[in-house]
């Protein structure tokens, strides 16, 4: 009788304990499922959203992607963020490429613009701005140079009788010849005047006479000259460029040699000596 009474007391306790254990087990499983199916995916969504807000698109795209088992709307939200991150990365890469391309194009355009700013529009030679810049650089370099100034002989009567269009064509031919016959920069100093900055190590007078002869060989007819040769010719004068002098002084000395060439009958070269080859 006592045994039956004992079992009657223990049975409800066991049932209650089993029920409590079952409830705890169910709660634990529910918690684990919520953590795995909802909390972790939502936390991942929040993390990815935060990375997106910080513009860390690459990290947002790769963040814990393999360890997440999201489903339903949570998975759709996560996938949407990943897709958005991939698109942002693609757009950013494309934008960077466009910026790089535009920067290169702008640099090239600036280079061409700078070149145009230093070129003479009619002849294609370097212009007075380029000449002034390069002459000052030559003076400051401390190296030995000669400055050559040239002038087309009796060009005014050529323009007056053949017309300015013919004069322009003649200038272009002479400019092309000078440029083709020397590797040095040739400048249009102004009007029908030209200039060249020549390293002193070269045979200046010989080089200038070669250029003068090349202009004669163009045989650009000029029947209105006082000189006997009925073609366009050049008179040239050259003088040494001295260290630390003013550019105007170097130009003035070269001009004096040019005047000597003109007074000597034109179509000739006068060179002032005074530089020791370096």
Q: Which of 189, 69, 80 is nearest to 129 (CA)?
A: 189
Distance spanning both ends of the chain, measured CA to CA: 135
Residues 6+ apart with CB under 8 A from 157: 222, 224, 225
Catalytic residue, chosen from 3, 100, 108, 192, is: 192
Rounded Cα–Cα distance for residues 219 and 232 (Å):
7
Rounded to whole angstroms, how far apart are CA atoms 258 and 150? Answer: 7
DSSP character string of 5-28? HHHHHHHHHHHHHHHHHHHHHHHH
Interhelix angle 247-263/128-141, rounded to 10 degrees, is: 110
Phi and psi of 7, rounded to 5°? -65, -35
Question: How far is C-alpha 49 from the geometric centre of its chain's CA atoms?
Answer: 40
By residue count, the chain amounts to 278
Spell out the residues 6+ positions from residue 170 whose beta carbon is closer than 8 angstroms to its own: 152, 155, 158, 162, 220, 232
Active site residue 192: yes
Show the DSSP H helices in 118-202 as ranges. Answer: 128-141, 155-162, 164-181
**CA torsion angle 78 84 87 93 (round to 10):** -100
- List residues bridging with 193 in a β-sheet: 151, 190
Q: Which residues are catalytic?
A: 192
């Amino acid at each position: 009788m006592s045994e039956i009474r004992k079992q009657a007391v223990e049975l409800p306790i066991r049932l209650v304990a089993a029920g409590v254990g079952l409830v705890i087990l169910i709660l634990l499983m529910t918690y684990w499922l919520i953590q795995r199916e909802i909390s972790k995916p939502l936390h991942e969504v929040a993390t990815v959203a935060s990375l997106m807000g910080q513009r860390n698109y690459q990290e947002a795209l790769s963040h814990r992607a393999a360890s997440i088992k999201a489903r339903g709307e949570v998975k759709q939200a996560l996938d949407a963020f990943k897709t958005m991150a991939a698109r942002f990365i693609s757009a950013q890469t494309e934008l960077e490429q466009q910026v790089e391309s535009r920067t290169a194009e702008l640099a090239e355009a600036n280079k061409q613009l700078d070149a145009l700013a230093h070129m003479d529009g009619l002849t294609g030679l370097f212009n007075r701005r380029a000449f002034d810049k390069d002459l000052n650089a030559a003076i400051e370099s401390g190296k030995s140079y000669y400055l050559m100034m040239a002038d087309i002989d009796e060009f005014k009567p050529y323009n007056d009788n053949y017309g300015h269009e013919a004069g322009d064509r003649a200038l272009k031919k002479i400019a092309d010849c000078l440029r083709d016959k020397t590797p040095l920069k040739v400048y249009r100093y102004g009007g029908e005047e030209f200039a060249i900055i020549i390293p002193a190590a070269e045979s200046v007078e010989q080089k200038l006479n070669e250029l003068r002869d090349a202009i004669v060989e163009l045989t650009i007819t000029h029947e209105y000259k006082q000189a006997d040769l009925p073609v366009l010719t050049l008179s040239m004068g050259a003088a040494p460029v001295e260290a630390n002098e003013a550019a105007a002084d170097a130009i003035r000395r070269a001009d004096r040699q040019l005047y000597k060439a003109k007074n000597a009958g034109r179509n000739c070269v006068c060179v002032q000596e005074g530089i020791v080859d370096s």
